[in-house]
């Protein structure tokens, strides 16, 4: 597909492509509306001007989160958090079956933000904010009116859309809801002639095994880093980067917390 190379830097190609309406761009840097997502990006071949543009977008006291295949942080940035992960693509073996085992997913909108945030508090899937539902493509399962599981779409590049925010309340895990919602979201993505991609922390072996059973295959590794400009323009020397961690990307830009995706 034409978007294969874009998957190495999916935030950038999403922000200058299909998701441009949810972000802002300054020169050779772009970021999502901070109410929607903490992610920002520079081009595939960033030069000093690109990093300076990113520092301007972040602001002198701001943080931004980068996700790409490899991250080479230049001088002038602090790196409070960094992790390794895997990028997976739905393969030929993936079957977007609609067997709901008695549950019927329903579409979620911005009107469901309060319910989504209540679920996130119990089962954080990664960066998720009240405005994240603006990405669209979200589905949820309710039991007795309570939202207990959800999944949706986030990044989007030519030919691919990211499956994201797969989470299940601890009270109802083990009932197949994560698999059900994963299949529902992938079916929506494929109905547009696209393929599904996802990102998982390397240490989240439970989620990786689930996705492999469903038919996802590992495409590549990736890195995530929480960056903070030392000064606007990113010209001051940066301290040594912290030891690499295999923890999970969190639900805020500054306080990563473990992700849970089993259900």
pTM for the predicted model, two decimal places? 0.85
Return the pLDDT at 200: 96
**What number of residues does the chain have?**
263
**CB-CB contact of 26 with 56 (8 Å):** yes
Helix count and strand count (H, E) for the chain: 5, 11
Pick the CATH number of 88-217 from 2.130.10.10, 3.30.1330.10, 3.40.630.30, 3.40.630.10: 3.40.630.30
Kindly report, as residue ranges, where domains of CATH 3.40.630.30 are found in the chain.
5-87+220-229, 88-217
CA dist 21 and 245 (Å) reads: 33
Return the structure tokens found at 27.
């020169």
SS3 state of residue 165 = strand
**CB-CB contact of 157 with 219 (8 Å):** no
Query: Which parts of the chain sit beneath pLDDT 70?
Result: 1-3, 97-101, 231-263
Return the pLDDT at 250: 36
Return the pLDDT at 96: 74
Return the structure tokens found at 45.
């071949």
Return the structure tokens found at 232.
């606007």
What is the DSSP annotation of 137-164? Answer: -EEEEEETTEEEEEEEEEEEETTEEEEE
What is the CATH number that goes with domain 5-87+220-229? 3.40.630.30
């Amino acid at each position: 597909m034409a978007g294969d190379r874009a998957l190495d830097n999916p935030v950038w190609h999403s922000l200058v492509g299909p998701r441009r309406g949810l972000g802002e761009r300054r020169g050779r840097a772009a970021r999502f509306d901070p109410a929607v997502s903490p992610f920002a990006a520079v081009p595939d071949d960033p030069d000093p001007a690109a990093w300076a543009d990113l520092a301007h977008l972040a602001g002198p006291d701001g943080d931004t989160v980068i996700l790409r295949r490899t991250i080479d942080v230049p001088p002038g940035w602090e790196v409070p958090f960094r992790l390794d992960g895997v990028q997976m693509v739905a393969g030929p073996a993936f079957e977007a079956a609609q067997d709901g085992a008695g549950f019927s997913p329903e579409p979620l909108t911005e009107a469901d933000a309060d319910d989504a945030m209540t679920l996130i508090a119990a089962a954080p899937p990664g960066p998720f904010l009240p405005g994240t539902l603006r990405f669209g493509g979200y589905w949820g399962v309710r039991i007795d009116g309570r939202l207990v599981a959800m999944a949706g779409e986030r990044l989007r590049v030519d030919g691919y859309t990211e499956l994201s925010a797969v989470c299940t309340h601890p009270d109802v895990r083990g009932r197949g809801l994560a698999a059900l919602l994963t299949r529902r979201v992938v079916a929506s993505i494929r109905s547009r002639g696209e393929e599904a991609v996802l990102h998982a922390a390397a240490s989240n072996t439970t989620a990786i095994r689930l996705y492999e059973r469903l038919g996802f295959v590992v495409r590549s590794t990736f890195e995530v880093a929480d960056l903070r400009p030392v000064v606007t323009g990113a010209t001051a020397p940066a301290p040594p980067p912290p030891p690499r961690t295999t923890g999970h990307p969190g639900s805020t830009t500054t306080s990563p917390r473990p992700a849970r995706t089993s259900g």
